[in-house]
Amino acid sequence: MPIGVLLKQVPDTTAKIGVSGGRVDESAVSKWSMSPYDEYALESALRVKESSGGAVVAITCGPARAAKMLTDAAAVGVDSLMHVQIGSQDSLDSTQIQSILAAALERAGCDVVFCGKQAADTNGGSTGPGVAMLMDASCVSHVSEVSADGGGYLALRASPSGDERVHVSAPCVFAFDKGSEELRRPNVRGIMMAKKKVIETVSPGDLGVSMDESRVTLVSHSPPPEKPPGQKFEGADSVATVVGKLRDEANVI
């Protein structure tokens, strides 16, 4: 069974986000990239494949532009690509996204899933654990390393007191934090091969998921609240003044 990797294309973390007419202006985004935590999930899935065989299928749910990200994933070694094409993600709530992804994973025959702990645009963190519930799988969250171990997997995850190495068997979902492995970059051969890779493009309906009305409706986007300008002081002599202000004006020390 192939390993499934859930990927999302997001504005690059260095891109400026502008709001116009109550909506984030996607047309002004200078660069779209694979969400950073998803990159670590992908890297780890490829390493597991290299050590214990099998195949990796990358799945995304997004508009037409997201196809480029799947091709980028193929360039570093993903075997097959599935694109669940939707118009705008603003109209889908968490239950809908998770149903779509769970159905796509089922179609691809995956019972082991790698994904990022949250996407860099919506910053939610619901997809991994939610999809796991729908698959009746264990979700290991905040993972930085995964390796095959006998019939199962060993994962390193963050815990309140440090880290834990946990053992888990399929069906399972690994939701990645920043991983400990260096990310691979595509080589020329990989890029050429990826251009020929066929993307299986499907609709939610093709997956048997009916899109009822979303229970979460976007009212508006807005720019973040502006902070009043701060006070600036020259030289280390001003430290005493600032400490005084922290104590008397801000009451934080």
Partner 1 sequence: MDVTVIADSTADGLTPVTAQLVGAAASIGGTSTVLCPGGVGASEAASISGVSKVISVEGDCFGTYEGGAWATALNSQASGDLVLAAASPRGRDIAASLAAIREIPVIQDATGLEAGMVVTRPIYSGKAMETSNVSGPCVITLRANAFDSAPEGGNADVNTVNQTADVGLAVKEAIAKASERLDVTEADIIISGGRGMGEPSNFSHLNEVADMIGAAVGASRAAVDTWDEIPHSMQVGQTGKTVTPSLYIAVGISGAIQHLAGMKTSKYIVAINKDPDAPIFGVADYGIVATWEDALPALKSELAKL
* Least Cβ distance, residue 140 to partner 1 (angstroms): 6
* Least Cβ distance, residue 197 to partner 1 (angstroms): 28
Q: At what angle do helices 127-135 and 94-108 cross, to 10 degrees?
A: 60
Contact string 112-151 vs partner 1 (x = CB under 8 A): ------x-xxxxxxxxxxxxxxx--xxxxxx-x-------
Region binding partner 1 by CB under 8 A among candidate stretches 10-18, 41-49, 187-195, 203-211:
10-18
28 binds partner 1 (CB under 8 A): no
247 binds partner 1 (CB under 8 A): yes
Distance of CA 61 to the CA centre of its chain: 11
Closer by beta carbon to partner 1, 188 or else 219: 219
- Report the C-alpha gap between 244 and 232 in whole angstroms: 14
Region binding partner 1 by CB under 8 A among candidate stretches 43-51, 105-113, 197-205, 229-237:
229-237
Q: Which of 32, 36, 67, 200 binds partner 1 (CB under 8 A)?
A: 36
Closer by beta carbon to partner 1, 53 or else 224: 224
* Least Cβ distance, residue 119 to partner 1 (angstroms): 10
- Report the C-alpha gap between 19 and 126 in whole angstroms: 25
Region binding partner 1 by CB under 8 A among candidate stretches 72-80, 184-192, 193-201, 237-245:
237-245
Region binding partner 1 by CB under 8 A among candidate stretches 46-54, 188-196, 198-206, 220-228:
220-228
Closer by beta carbon to partner 1, 166 or else 193: 166
Secondary structure of 160-204 in the HEC alphabet? CCEEEEEEECCCEEEEECCCCCCCCCCCHHHHHHHHHCCEEEECC
112, 171 in Cβ contact below 8 A? yes
- Report the C-alpha gap between 242 and 253 in whole angstroms: 11
Q: Which of 27, 162, 189, 210 binds partner 1 (CB under 8 A)?
A: 162
**Which 64-93 residues touch partner 1, going by CB under 8 A?**
93
Q: Which two tokens mark 73?
A: 């994933």
Region binding partner 1 by CB under 8 A among candidate stretches 11-19, 44-52, 63-71, 81-89:
11-19
CB atoms near residue 200 (< 10 Å)? 16
Q: At what angle do helices 67-75 and 188-196 cross, to 10 degrees?
A: 130
Find tokens 């492995």 and name the residue. 181
How many amino acids of this chain bind partner 1 (CB under 8 A)?
Answer: 85
* Least Cβ distance, residue 80 to partner 1 (angstroms): 26
- Cα-based distances in Å from 54 to 57, 76, 79, 198: 10, 16, 10, 19
Q: Which two tokens mark 223?
A: 């720019």
